[in-house]
Structure 1
Amino acid sequence: MQELVRVHVQEPVATLVLNRPEKRNALSSALVMALSEALAALAKEPSVRVVVLTGAGKVFSAGADLAELERLQQATVEENLADSEQLAGLLRQLAYYPKPVIAKLNGHAIAGGCGLAIACDFAIAAAGSKLGFTEVRLGFVPAIVGVFVLRRVGETVARDLLLRGRLIEAEEAVRLGLIHQVVPTEALAQTVDALAQELARETSPSALALTRRLLADLPGMGFDAALAYATRVNALARGTSDFRAGIRAFLAKQDPPWRTAAS
C-alpha cells in the first residue's frame, strides 16, 4: 500500500513529503488525514524543531482531488461538510502548530495546494513553479483557502488572485507577498535547509510556539482586544524556562540551551 506521506527525520528537522506524484499530489481525503496525523506525531517530538513540507515528483500539489470531488456530488450535504471540515482542520492545525513549518515548493502549487503552502510560516519555491487559485475557472469557490489568502496578501491582491483564477509565476508570487522567496531549482534544498537550521539553532522553542499563536490570533481581533491579548502573552513569556535561560545566557555571554542542543 502506498505511503501517502513520507516522513524523513534528520534532527532537528523533519521533512514531510506528499507522496502521490502520479496524481500531482492531489489532496485526497486520505492524504489530508495522513498529513494531519504525521504533523500531530511530530508535534510531540522535542528533538524535531522545524518541519519542512514538500511534494514528491515535479509538483508540490495540484489541489483538491477532482475525481474524489466528483464522487462527492452524490453525497449528502453533511458528508460534503465533513470532507470540507477535514481540509479546514488541516490548515488550522498548521496555523496553530507549535513548530515553524516551511513549504518547499518543488513545483506548481495550485488551488488547495497553494492554500496548503501559504498556511505554512515560510514558502520557498523553485524557479519555474506556478501558483494560483483556479477554483472559479472550474465552477468551484476558493472558500477555505480564501481565509489564508486574505490574511497573507490583503483584499486587493486577494480579489485579483481569487476572482480571476489565474496562475502566476513564482517571481510574481514573491512580489505580491504570497510566498517568501524563489530560487533556482538546484539551490532549493540548500536554501530551505539553511532557513530550517537557522530557526532550529537561533530561536527558542517556547518563544516560537507563543509567537506563532500570537500571529494566528491577532488578525481577527480589534485593536484593544489585540493589545490586551498581546500584553497577556508578554507576561506569560516572561515566566517560561526558555526566557529565564535566554536571559542568563545573554548576561553571561554564553550560548542559550537551544543553540547548544541544535549543534
Structure 2
Amino acid sequence: MTVPTGAERATEVLRTEDFGPVRVLTLNRPEKLNALDTALTRALSRAFTAADADRDVRAVVLTGVGRGFCAGADLGEFSSLTPDRPEAVLERAALTARLQVQARQLRVPVVSAVRGAAVGGGAGLAIGADLVVAGTDLKFGYPELTHSIVPALVMTGLVQHLGRKLAFELVSTGRLLTAAEAAEHGLVNRVVEPAEVPATALGIAQRWAELEPRAIAAAKDLFYRVADLPTDAAMRAGQDVNALMRGFRG
C-alpha cells in the first residue's frame, strides 16, 4: 500500500482502493492536514457504509495522505456554521457524531494507520477503529479548548478509552501525547517507524480477511455489546453467539 505524499495534488477528498478483500480509505486533504470539513465527513461516512454493504470487503484500513493523519475539524468552515444557519449546524453535528462511532458499528474490522497529527476529531477517528497502528511521529490530543471550542462530539470516545484523570487533562490543557505515551495508555496497538505504518496496518487487515467473515463479524459485534452490558446479560449474549457459531464451520 502506498500513501501519496503531501506534495501531490489532491483530486478528491477521499480515496478508495481495494487490495483484494481489504478496502483502504485515505483522507485526501493534505494541504489541510486532512481536516474534516463537511464534504470529507460525508464522504468518509458514506465510504464506511459502502464497505459494510460490500460482501467482497472483509477488512478496512483508514489512513491519511501526507504528514498528518487528521487535524480534526476544519476551522475554516466554522464561519458558515453559525446560529443563524441552524440546519447546517445540526446537519454537521449529526454527521460528526455518526462518523465518530461508525467504525465500531461495521460488520468488518477497521484498523487505523496513523502518522503525525491525530487531534480533535482526528484523534476520535483514530481510536474509533478496532485497532490502531501509530507512527513514532504521532501527536495525539484534543486541543479544542485552546481554540475556544468544546470537544463535545469526541469526548465520549475519549472517556471510554482513557481513565478520567488523563482524559480530563487532555481536554482541559490541550496536551498532546507522544506515540510512546499513547501506547502506554492503551490508545494504540502498535508503534512503528512512520514509513512502516501503512504496510503494518495492511498486514493486520489482510490477516483479518483470511478469517471466516461471519465469525469475525459475530466476534466484533459481541465484543462491543458485552462491554456495555452487566455481567449476567453479557454472558447470556455470549451463550447466544456460542450456539450460533456452530453453523460457521463447514
* Residue identity matched to 1:16: L
Partner of 2:5: none
Give the 3 Å change call, closer, same or farther, for CA 28–177 of structure 1 in structure 2: same
* Residue identity matched to 1:210: A
Is 1:216 aligned with 2:224? yes
Work out whether residues 111 and 135 of structure 1, in 8 Å CA contact, stay in contact via their aligned partners in 2: yes
Match of 1:94 among 86, 103, 109: 103
Q: Aligned partners of 2:158 and 2:123: how far apart in 1?
A: 9
Give the 3 Å change call, closer, same or farther, for CA 233–19 of structure 1 in structure 2: same
Partner of 1:235: 243
Task: Give the gaps of 5 or more residues in structure 2.
Answer: 1-9
Q: CA deviation at 1:187?
A: 1.9
Work out whether residues 151 and 219 of structure 1, in 8 Å CA contact, stay in contact via their aligned partners in 2: no
Is 1:45 aligned with 2:54? yes
Give the 3 Å change call, closer, same or farther, for CA 98–132 of structure 1 in structure 2: same
Match of 1:25 among 6, 29, 34: 34
Secondary structure, aligned partner of 2:156: helix
Give the 3 Å change call, closer, same or farther, for CA 141–237 of structure 1 in structure 2: farther
TM-score (norm 1): 0.85
Which runs of at least 4 in structure 1 moved beyond 4 Å after TM superposition? none
TM-score (norm 2): 0.89
Q: CA deviation at 1:79?
A: 3.8
Q: CA deviation at 1:95?
A: 1.6
Partner of 1:153: 162
Give the 3 Å change call, closer, same or farther, for CA 50–143 of structure 1 in structure 2: same
Q: Deviations over 1:91-138 (max 9, x none)?
A: 232121111111111321011001001000111111112111112222
- 1:1-263 matches, within 5 Å, as 2-77=11-86, 79-201=88-210, 203-238=211-246, 240=247, 243-245=248-250
Work out whether residues 158 and 167 of structure 2, in 8 Å CA contact, stay in contact via their aligned partners in 1: yes
Kindly name which structure, 1 or 2, has the bigger radius of gyration based on alpha carbons: 1
Q: Deviations over 1:70-105 (max 9, x none)?
A: 321244455423311111112232121111111111
Q: CA deviation at 1:177?
A: 0.9
Partner of 1:251: none
Aligned-residue Cα RMSD (Å) equals 1.9
Work out whether residues 60 and 109 of structure 1, in 8 Å CA contact, stay in contact via their aligned partners in 2: yes
Corresponding pairs, count: 241
Secondary structure, aligned partner of 1:141: coil
